[in-house]
Amino acid sequence: MSDNKRSNRGSNDPNDRGDAPSRETRTGGVWLVIIGVILAVMMSALLFGQNSRSLRYPDLTKLLIEHAKQKQIEAEGGKAETPKIVVDSPKDPKIQLEFSDLQLVLLGDDEITGTVMYRSLGSGSKAADDPENLPTRTDFKTVRVVNETQDAYFDKILRDSGVTWDNARPNRWLADNWFNLFMLGAIIAIGVIMLRRIGGVGSPMSFSRSRGKLHGQEDLSISFEDAAGIDEAVEEVREIVDFLKNSEKYQALGGRIPKGVLLVGPPGTGKTLLAKAIAGEAGVPFFSLSGSDFVEMFVGVGAARVRDMFQQATSRAPCIIFIDELDALGKSRSGSVVGGHDEREQTLNALLVEMDGFDSNNGVIVVAATNRPETLDPALLRPGRFDRQVLVDRPDVAGREAILKVHVRSVKLDDEVDLRHIASITSGFVGADLANLVNEAALLAARADKSAVSTTEFDEAVDRVTAGLEKKNRVMNEDEKIRVAYHEAAHALVAAALPNTDPVHKVSIIPRGFAALGYTMQRPDSERYLMTKLELESRMKVLLAGTLAEEMVLQDISTGAQNDLERCTEIARSMVMDFGMSRLGRINYRHSTGSPFLAGGGGNGHSMTYGEDTAKLIDKEVSRIVEDALTQTREILTQRREVLEAITQRLLEVESIDNGELFRIIKEHSTGPWLVPGTITEKPRAQIRKPENDLDTLKDAE
């Protein structure tokens, strides 16, 4: 089955420390700026907006005397002026300060406070004439001189001045500053909330927090029945579920559950789905995350996330931790150039300790998936950590049929659809490919306004998945169309003439995919795990047939054979260097470091183990093998020229022919033995030789 994407739903547990909802970093930054500005304004108001002016006791007395004088002038019928005094600044004698118009004086035991009009006159009297330098109302504070003589004199001039006064009130700082305190508390509360909100996964506030997502049972509705096509892998992990449900049975015999299970296999075979099925069948909490979730730019963060992950898992034991793409975290350690360890190695060390260290975690099963097992650290693969490695391989015919049955549950099929036939023509497909195939067929049926999906849609979907989308806007001119028709007809002809090749399923000159102007599709009769030398040589001949047909018929070759030549050369080089199928002997000249599960090989490719002289011999042998294949392929096409012309003409007429029509054309235009003489046998390669048949042959020879 295919690797399903991890569920985006998390746990409803309020204590869950899994992923927070994703937010844009820009939004969090804007909020932080807003909070900072508000905080700066409020602190400025608290520190500077209500700052009291210091007024010395003698200067206050002088100002009260001025008030008394102006009051006396007003009482005598004169024009009173604003009472004011000008004094030198205590900080800078060059600056003069003007105080005027006392309005309220509060008498305390140690100090006198009130309000007064105030302005700074600068270093001269010119500032007093400046129209922009107007007095402003402000608070003042004066240290009180406490003695009976001074108190009596001060009380007298205070009453004569007519200024409103009162005894000092009790300390009302809290009542006077409640709004400021409220705003400061609100700012602090908003800041705490924002830090918590932006402290989710992916923010600088959550470096050491695990990114594992906890799935509840309501999120895990997958069972082993959904993991079709991988029966052997299911059987390997079924006992883990049985242990989680009936641990007493195993513990009574002294057995213990494997601490770790490593699922290995090609992409799309169902490793993630199998892990979900384990959790769904066991009925235990399930943490899911990727190996890259532990990796961070700061050293120590990944190790902290590993510890946090296992701490959460231990608190919910028994439970399962699923780590997808383990190779991102568990690659083999190597000596650093500078003698240190990078972040990934620190994280791997933490994982090794948590899985089987001094304080190993009981009840926590680690299930991991990777398609690069050759890159994992040996310490991670040893028993006690990953005790069991389960191969989730490509499904066979029966497995593909079972997978198709799962995916067509919600698809309305026509009665004529034969899933067994579809499984037989999709050799090499994994669960993800088959899921995509069913979906493509359903979309094609909906596009044609059909009420059910028929075999026609499935055949077209196979072509789309295998060769790519049909390029209707890629119109070839007549010369190119003829050249492509000869090219593909030659591929099909040679494939049909050699008994040890895969049967031709379809031949087409309809452009598909990124660069293919035509294609010849071959499908094996059965699952193949080995290839013989003659089979590889036959495959090379099929690849070379296209460019040879162009040369023979059109007297010129084109760039359309680039991929054919590349594949043919690689087969010949592998025969010489990897398989020992050449005159150089049964020697392997290169050690492959690629992945057995990745089509591109992965890894660092190949390591060469020979010198320059041997390299020259290898190149000569590769060239000889290719030249021999060219010679033999030219003979096959020359002897069957009439059939080649017939297939080409039919392709130009209908653009696509299937296996049945191909062999009908061959039968009608063939004048001699069709199969190439001297190629193993003229019997299909799938036929098995029986000992009794060999005995009968010997008797006839006698």
Was 564 annotated as part of a binding site?
Answer: yes
Cβ–Cβ under 8 Å, residues 160 and 71: yes
Give the Cα separation of 142 and 621 in Å (integer).
108
Give the Cα separation of 612 and 589 in Å (integer).
12
Was 375 annotated as part of a binding site?
Answer: no
Q: Is 537 a catalytic residue?
A: no
Distance of CA 606 to the CA centre of its chain: 28
Was 212 annotated as part of a binding site?
Answer: no
Give the Cα separation of 412 and 434 in Å (integer).
16
Was 272 annotated as part of a binding site?
Answer: yes
Judged by DSSP in three states, 521 sits in strand
Was 267 annotated as part of a binding site?
Answer: yes
Give the Cα separation of 495 and 503 in Å (integer).
7
Give the list of residues 6+ apart from residue 161 with CB closer than 8 angstroms, or none. 64, 65, 67, 68, 71, 102
As beta bridge partners, residue 61 has none
Was 149 annotated as part of a binding site?
Answer: no
Burial of 392 (0-12, 13-18, 19+ CB in 10 A): buried
Give the list of residues 6+ apart from residue 393 with CB closer than 8 angstroms, or none. 230, 233, 265, 266, 269
| 326-363 residues labelled b (16+ CB within 10 A) or e (exposed) | bbbbbbebeeeeeeeeebbbbbbbbbbbbbbeeeebee
Show the tokens assigned to 78.
């004169």
Cβ–Cβ under 8 Å, residues 97 and 87: yes
Burial of 250 (0-12, 13-18, 19+ CB in 10 A): middle
Show the tokens assigned to 53.
């002016």
Judged by DSSP in three states, 396 sits in coil
Give the Cα separation of 347 and 377 in Å (integer).
12
What Å distances lie between residue 388 and 236, 253, 366, 383, 459, CA to CA? Answer: 9, 20, 11, 8, 40
Tokens 């494939």 map to which residue?
495
Tokens 């150039």 map to which residue?
337
Annotated active-site residue in 66, 345, 488, 537: 488
Was 505 annotated as part of a binding site?
Answer: no
- E-state strands within 201-358: 213-215, 260-264, 286-290, 319-324
Question: Which phi and psi angles does 241 have, rounded to 5°?
Answer: -65, -40
Give the Cα separation of 642 and 688 in Å (integer).
33
H helices present in 22-140, as ranges: 25-44, 57-75
Was 271 annotated as part of a binding site?
Answer: yes
Give the Cα separation of 489 and 479 in Å (integer).
15
H helices present in 286-342, as ranges: 301-315
Burial of 518 (0-12, 13-18, 19+ CB in 10 A): buried
Was 491 annotated as part of a binding site?
Answer: yes
Annotated binding site for Zn(2+): 487, 491, 564
Annotated binding site: 265-272, 487, 491, 564
Which of the residues are catalytic?
488
Annotated binding site for ATP: 265-272
